[in-house]
Amino acid sequence: MWLQLAHVLKEQGALPDAAMAYREATRLAPSGEDGWIHLAHLERRLGDREAAILALEQGLADKGTRAADALVEMGARERLPLVHQTRIETHQGHYALSRYAAWRAAQPLPGTIPSVRPEVQAAPLVVIDARGAAAGLVAVTRGTLGGFACRVLTDAPDPPADVQCVRSGEEISDPAPHFLLIEAGVRIVPGAIAQLCAAIAQTGAGAAYGDHDHWDADRRNDDHSALAGGAIVLRDPCFQPMFDPIWFARAEVRPPCLLVTAAGASTAPDWGMLFATRLSLPVPYAHVPMVLASRPGEAVLGAAATPQTGAGADGPIQVIIQTRDAADLLEACVTSLRRTAARPDLLDIVIMDNRSVLPRTAELLADWEGQGIARVIAHDAPFNWARANNLAAHHPAAGRGGAPYLLFLNNDVEMESEGWDMALRDGLEGGLAGQDVGAMGALLLYPDRLIQHGGVTFGMGAEGDVVHEGVGHATDPGGPSARWRHPRLASAVTGAWLATSRALFEAVGGFEERLPIAYNDIDFCLRVRAAGRLVVQASHIVAVHRESATRGSVMSSAEHARDQADWAWLRARWGAALDLDPAYNPHWLRGGQPFDGLHTPSSDAVSRWIAASAQPRPWSVTPPA
């Protein structure tokens, strides 16, 4: 009875009452899987992901497989009991990240996988970077190289006598067709070098890298001399993106071995400079999505840190905020902006007032205008986020008009990062690894400190949806390889906090006004990438996104229909650009939530990824016709 009543209430739109009825149904029939699943779906619609997960966990009491599948779809694969995880591993080949050791044990070695063009592979010269490394770690790497010729890069006064050594300032004079640059202590997987050679032969790239994990073993000697053999434990995989110099600026995630052609190596004057610049050579980089190496476990993922900045760009930032009343949220937003900015005097805050009616809002806006804190533009029109932002950016009464930087900001966002304005300017002026950045997004947190936005992933689910990364996860550890705590390239970022330059905003035509509510930020980021610029998820800039009107909202049927129509329009415009995400390694599953499970990609998927990664600008997209 309670279950039927809950269904009726849900159909009538009385969602809180329906949730109460579902809870009563599960209390009376706790072994019934249906009640828990319906309750979980409703809790999710009401915006409480954790309550939804808890409901499904209770529904697993009788080992119901449908509740387990619903947990996976909700991005909670790690919460499954082991019996369900092993069932899914056996029947689907899908693994939780915490089950990486089991997944790794089930993988074929790269040497057993046919290379693309093995007949053109030539043996490279292996160069081990032993500077500052214990002798035992050099022995570990040498023990995995087989019969490949080897040099050791060292600055030690008494180098080992049993291997040929090179020095940092020594010229690169060896005639090898390729050089494998590798860190001391890294274990190469059998067949890995052949796969890297094949990737270069297939694509014509100047360098190639693969994925890696980390190895641990019992250590009885400080110099690691007992580690060349014996049992090891493999953990913490780093499934890499296509070439991302901002991501690779982190020493703990950059590829521990890299194959470079002789032509690519010739751009460096000596061995030391080759190792120092190996991830900034003027060549295309091919990425082989296979675990080809294991780095020593000491390379622990570091805590989030503010990246090294550039010269310190200056200039006003025009901050555009749309509001309809919500005076308390708006006041908290603007106050936080000014409090945390290094140069609040260079903030040109523009409030687009979309038909506010409450006296409190009018008083606040009038006070701000009187003090010169913000400019207010009355916008008496139906809500269209894209059009209002375009009008604000080009309003003829712009006080400082022509501010070189633009920040589009939701009124329910509160800035946390001190000096965010300096980080914004610096990022847009090449301060992030010297890259040509066109748009930036921030790490947005819910008030409970869980992640609301850590970037946008393309190509999820059967429809190839665009999905926020990291939703509901903690910032520590911050996702695989701590990806949600560090800046990196992204396919797109949310418009709730979106920064760009005025020049680029005007060059690409602003926001698409045919998309009044959803997907206009995705379309803008795609046009930025089509213009040859990069989009950065700048997670060193942190803000709280209260999302009070969004997180707990439920779409009406009319709103759902409009959303579907807008998505269809975006699909028609961009097509395949929405399917390939250069940040989303093919090891990651595309069902459920981003980065919630891994599998073994097909050989076709691997080949397609390698070919796409080796393009001169793998993050660019083709402009729409």
Q: Name, in order, each residue with C-beta under 8 angstroms of 550's C-beta and a sequence gap of 6 or more.
A: none
Residue 22 shares a structural domain with residue 129: no
Over residues 298-332, the pLDDT tens digits come to 644 444 445 555 556 789 999 999 999 999 999 99
Report residue 622: phi and psi, to 5°.
-75, 130
Instruction: Specify the pLDDT at position 62.
Output: 58
Query: Does the residue 611 lie in any domain?
Result: no
Taking residues 600-625, report their average pLDDT: 95
Q: Name, in order, each residue with C-beta under 8 angstroms of 249's C-beta and a sequence gap of 6 or more.
A: 307, 432, 433
Q: Name, in order, each residue with C-beta under 8 angstroms of 528's C-beta and a sequence gap of 6 or more.
A: 438, 439, 500, 504, 508, 534, 535
Instruction: Specify the pLDDT at position 303.
Output: 45
Into how many domains does the chain fold?
A: 3
Taking residue 506's Cβ as centre, other Cβ atoms within 10 Å add up to 12
Strand stretches in 283-395, DSSP E: 285-296, 317-323, 347-353, 374-378
Closest CA to 214 of 253, 242, 258: 253
Q: How many residues does the chain have?
A: 625
- Binned at pLDDT 50, 70 and 90, residue 135 comes out as confident
Q: Name, in order, each residue with C-beta under 8 angstroms of 228's C-beta and a sequence gap of 6 or more.
A: 136, 139, 140, 142, 143
Residue 424 shares a structural domain with residue 562: yes
Instruction: Specify the pLDDT at position 19.
Output: 87
- Binned at pLDDT 50, 70 and 90, residue 74 comes out as confident
Residue 286 shares a structural domain with residue 258: yes
Instruction: Specify the pLDDT at position 309.
Output: 52
Over residues 413-467, the pLDDT tens digits come to 999 999 999 999 999 999 898 899 999 999 999 999 999 999 999 999 888 899 9
Per-residue HEC secondary structure of 330-344 comes to: HHHHHHHHHHHCCCH
The CATH number given to whatever domain includes residue 136 is: 3.90.550.10
Taking residues 283-288, report their average pLDDT: 98
Task: Report how far residue 256's alpha carbon sits from residue 287's, in angstroms, rounded to the nearest whole number.
Answer: 13
> Higher-confidence residue: 39 or 269?
269
* Contact assessment for residue 491 and residue 457, using Cβ atoms and an 8 Å cutoff: yes
Taking residues 54-73, report their average pLDDT: 82
pTM of the predicted structure, to 2 decimals: 0.92
Residue 75 shares a structural domain with residue 34: yes
- Binned at pLDDT 50, 70 and 90, residue 399 comes out as very low
Residue 18 shares a structural domain with residue 116: no
Could you list the residue range(s) of the whole structural domain that residue 127 is in?
Answer: 110-296
Secondary structure letter of residue 471 according to DSSP:
T
> Higher-confidence residue: 120 or 395?
395
Over residues 19-55, the pLDDT tens digits come to 898 888 888 888 888 888 888 888 888 878 888 888 8
Instruction: Specify the pLDDT at position 577.
Output: 95
SS3 call for 541: strand
From 233, 265, 296, give the residue that closes a domain: 296
Question: CA angle, corner 394, sides to 392 and 395, nearest 5?
Answer: 65
Residue 292 shares a structural domain with residue 334: no
Taking residues 61-68, report their average pLDDT: 74
The CATH number given to whatever domain includes residue 513 is: 3.90.550.60
Question: CA angle, corner 504, sides to 349 and 566, nearest 5?
Answer: 85
Instruction: Specify the pLDDT at position 449.
Output: 93
Instruction: Specify the pLDDT at position 552.
Output: 41
Query: Does the residue 126 lie in any domain?
Result: yes
Instruction: Specify the pLDDT at position 350.
Output: 96
Residue 257 shares a structural domain with residue 375: no
Instruction: Specify the pLDDT at position 342.
Output: 97
SS3 call for 526: helix
The CATH number given to whatever domain includes residue 48 is: 1.25.40.10
SS3 call for 317: strand
Tokens 């689910």, located at residue: 461
Query: Does the residue 276 lie in any domain?
Result: yes
Over residues 549-608, the pLDDT tens digits come to 333 455 677 888 999 999 999 999 999 999 999 999 999 999 889 999 999 999 999 999
User: Cα 223 to the chain's mean position, in Å?
Assistant: 37
| CA-only gyration radius of the chain, Å | 27
Largest CA distance in the chain: 84
Residue 62 shares a structural domain with residue 134: no
Query: Does the residue 23 lie in any domain?
Result: yes
* Contact assessment for residue 199 and residue 118, using Cβ atoms and an 8 Å cutoff: no
Residue 88 shares a structural domain with residue 114: no
Query: Does the residue 422 lie in any domain?
Result: yes
From 29, 60, 92, give the residue that closes a domain: 92
Residue 85 shares a structural domain with residue 117: no
Closest CA to 36 of 12, 62, 73: 62
Task: Write down the mean pLDDT value for the chain.
Answer: 89
Q: Name, in order, each residue with C-beta under 8 angstroms of 119's C-beta and a sequence gap of 6 or more.
A: none
Instruction: Specify the pLDDT at position 39.
Output: 85
Secondary structure letter of residue 97 according to DSSP:
G
Q: 33-45 vs 49-59: helix axis angle to the nearest 10?
A: 170
Cβ-count burial 586-622 (b if 16+ within 10 Å, e if not): bbbbbbbbbbbbbbbbeeeebeebbeebbbeebbbbe
* Contact assessment for residue 94 and residue 598, using Cβ atoms and an 8 Å cutoff: yes
Query: Does the residue 185 lie in any domain?
Result: yes
- Binned at pLDDT 50, 70 and 90, residue 227 comes out as very low
What does the block give as tokens for 576? Answer: 């395949």
> Higher-confidence residue: 238 or 396?
238
Cβ-count burial 199-235 (b if 16+ within 10 Å, e if not): bbbbbebbbbbbbbbbbebeeeeeebeebbeeebebe
Taking residues 242-260, report their average pLDDT: 96
Instruction: Specify the pLDDT at position 301.
Output: 42
Query: Does the residue 590 lie in any domain?
Result: no
Residue 558 shares a structural domain with residue 444: yes
Residue 325 shares a structural domain with residue 289: no
Secondary structure letter of residue 494 according to DSSP:
-
- Binned at pLDDT 50, 70 and 90, residue 623 comes out as very high
Query: Does the residue 441 lie in any domain?
Result: yes
